[in-house]
């Protein structure tokens, strides 16, 4: 499998629960290297632009409201099959449906406050990484 990069966000609920380190540990144990990272409090414009694909969905306003409710940690993960690997680590969007041992099963509280975001395709990953990081902010290791 090819080495890939994906964009991950630790959402405001998980930051508030002080589980940044636990989530980072899961990435690292799964062979995903953190090659860029930043803590930030998203503005409404930043959240709307990031989730633009969901603009017409009924949950869009709640999603943007939640994503701007507190600080997030944004990172680029790099590794073999990183996009799917990160989605597998996160589990299903709705924590009630997430498999035991996944990030969302363990740390999410609702479909809105669902702990983490991960790019869902190579195209999304490319767009989402560029949305938050310049090339010179990404620090690959060997
Ligand atoms: P994400 O983009 O945050 O990684 O989540 P995802 O791919 O698993 O889910 P997606 O369909 O992209 O939806 C983005 C976020 O919107 C909220 N959502 N609410 N009420 C609803 O039916 C509903 N559906 C989605 C979730 O917080 C989801 O993470
Ligand atoms: Mg998504």
Inside any domain, residue 139: no
117 tagged catalytic: yes
CA distance 87 to 18: 21
Inside any domain, residue 73: yes
Q: Provide, rounded to the nearest whole percent, the portion of the chain with pLDDT above 70.
A: 99
Inside any domain, residue 142: no
Distance of CA 133 from the midpoint of ligand 1 (Å) = 22
ipTM of this predicted structure: 0.94
The pLDDT of residue 88 = 98
Residues 115, 107 contacting (CB under 8 angstroms): yes
Q: How many residues does the chain have?
A: 142
Which burial class, exposed, middle or buried, applies to 25 when counting CB atoms under 10 A from its CB (0-12, 13-18, 19+)? exposed
Domain boundaries, position 120: 3-134
Distance of CA 27 from the midpoint of ligand 2 (Å) = 18
The pLDDT of residue 141 = 84
Q: Is the pLDDT of residue 123 over 90?
A: yes
CA distance 113 to 111: 6
Write the CATH number for 29.
3.30.70.141
Structural domain total, the chain? 1
Inside any domain, residue 25: yes
pTM value surpassing 0.95: yes
């Amino acid at each position: 499998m090819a080495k890939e990069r994906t964009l991950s966000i630790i959402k405001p609920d998980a930051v508030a629960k002080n589980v940044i380190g636990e989530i980072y540990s899961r990435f690292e144990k799964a062979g995903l290297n953190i090659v860029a990272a930043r803590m930030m409090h998203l503005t409404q414009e930043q959240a709307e632009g990031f989730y633009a694909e969901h603009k017409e969905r009924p949950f869009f306003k709640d999603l943007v409201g939640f994503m701007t409710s507190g600080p997030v940690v944004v990172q680029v993960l790099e590794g073999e099959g990183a996009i799917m690997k990160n989605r597998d680590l996160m589990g299903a969007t709705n924590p009630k449906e997430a498999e035991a041992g996944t990030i969302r099963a363990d740390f999410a509280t609702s479909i809105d406050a669902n702990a983490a975001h991960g790019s869902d395709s190579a195209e999304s990953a490319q767009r989402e990484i560029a949305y938050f990081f310049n090339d010179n902010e990404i620090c690959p290791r060997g």
